[in-house]
Amino acid sequence: MSQELDTAISSPTAQPYIPEPHDRRNPNAWDALYVDQAIPVDPISKGYMIRDLRNWTRSYLLVPIALIANLLLAIIMTVKRLLPFQFSNYTLMHQSAAWFLNTFVSPEACYLIVRHICLGSNIVNFLIDNGPDPAIEKSQLYPRTVGNLAENAFLEHDLILYNFVLDYSKAQREKPHWIEPVKERGLNFDSIKSVQVDIDFKKRRWLRILDLESAIELFKVFYSLCLTSDEFERAVLSLEFDENFGCYISALTGDYNWNHVITNRHPLAPESPFGAARNLLLHGIISEYLHRYLELRKEMAQTVSDR
């Protein structure tokens, strides 16, 4: 990891974030956060994360945006619960999301959103490859552009997660001793692969300014409007399955030492939907942690096999 980070820092074309010269009397907090390797993260993604965190909209617009968004969310949730019928419009939701991202959201945030969907597919497919039933349907959801998200990507992302958990749990009950042969043969890391994301960072229109968390705060309002109450509740609850997925991975690797980085926990004590934007931001970061952990395990396994 150290050599990989040093290469990224020394090559401006390979890394979107270049630390400033170290001033010992005035050290840069963001540079320290970027170069710190206590929790391994893909260097390219981490660079975009730092740039997103430094976005001026996060400092000046996030708080008022969150206040307005939560007020609108409260109104929508109350009205939809009181209505004698429920309605949803997935096509409108996803097409609006793609338009919103392409029009108002920074390229860095767009990159992280598209990449997150792909990482989720890699992690689910890894668990299937090494699970009690390799015949469980694997994820084929690998968007490359913001435009690809208009094809029901967010809904499919949630459905893939829930269907996997239900199928995986059923297979575990049917094969209670499944993990012993998996550990004997060794883990299959074929599904932990690099993902391709095509975002144009050169063309920066003046409206494409929003940071990731501000964008999520705004879009969660429209998300709640375009889903039924139960579907929105399901989407919010999915964020707390991070702890479950961490335990799935640790059961396979026998390593629980890294699980402290998972902060979205306890799905039996659901968080309020008003904190969904913050939890979704954490969900994205935790997915990056988990995927990088598996990449490093894959590298270790390849090193051992090459000896």
Quote the CA–CA distance of 90 and 31 in Å, as a whole number.
40
Which of the four pLDDT bands, split at 50, 70 and 90, describes residue 1? very low
Whether the CB-CB separation of 90 and 158 falls below 8 Å is answered with no
**Confidence check: pLDDT of 277 > 50:** yes
pLDDT digits (tens, 9 = 90+) for 162-195: 999 999 999 999 999 999 999 999 999 999 999 9
- Residue 7: per-residue pLDDT: 43
pLDDT of residue 173: 97
pLDDT at 159 over 70: yes
**Across residues 70-82, what is the average pLDDT?**
96
Is this structure's pTM higher than 0.85?
yes
| 75 is a domain residue | yes
Q: What's the whole-number mean pLDDT along residues 257-282? A: 94
Question: For residue 205, is pLDDT > 90?
Answer: no
Q: What pLDDT was estimated at residue 9?
A: 42
Query: Could you tell me the two tokens for 247?
Result: 């335990």
**Predicted confidence band of residue 14 (pLDDT cuts 50, 70, 90):** low
Which pLDDT belongs to residue 11?
Answer: 40
User: Which domain covers residue 265, as residue numbers?
Assistant: 40-306
Q: What is the pLDDT of residue 204?
A: 72
Name the residue with tokens 């995927």: 291
At 201 the pLDDT is 86
Using a pLDDT cut of 90, give the percent of the chain over it: 91
The pLDDT score that the predictor gives to residue 221 is 97
pLDDT band, residue 303 (cuts 50/70/90): confident
Q: Is residue 302 part of a domain?
A: yes
The mean predicted confidence, pLDDT, of the chain is 93
> How many domains, the chain?
1
Q: Determine, yes or no, domain membership for 18.
A: no
In the block, tokens 């991975």 appear at 249
In this structure, are residues 108 and 48 in contact, taking their beta carbons and an 8 Å threshold? yes
pLDDT in tens, 222-256: 999 999 999 999 999 999 999 999 999 999 999 99
Whether residue 227 is contained in a domain is answered as yes
87-105 tens-digit pLDDT: 999 999 999 999 999 999 9
Q: Is residue 22 part of a domain?
A: no
Question: Residue 12 pLDDT more than 50?
Answer: no
What 3 state SS string does 194-255 have?
CCCCCCCCCCCCCCCCECHHHHHHHHHHHHHHHCCHHHHHHHHHHHHHHHHHHHHHHHHHCC
- Residue by residue, DSSP assigns the chain as -HHHHHHHHH-TTT-S--PPP--TTS--HHHHHHH--SS---HHHHHHHHHHHT-HHHHHTHHHHHHHHHHHHHHHHHHHHHSSS----HHHHHHHHHHHHHHHB-HHHHHHHHHHHHHHHHHHHHHHHTSS-TTSPPP-----STGGGGTTHHHHHHHHHHHHHHHHHHHHHH-TTTHHHHHHH----TT---------SS---TT--B-HHHHHHHHHHHHHHHS-HHHHHHHHHHGGGHHHHHHHHHHHH---TTGGG--S--TTSPPPGGGHHHHHHHHHHHHHHHHHHHHHHHHHHHHHHH-
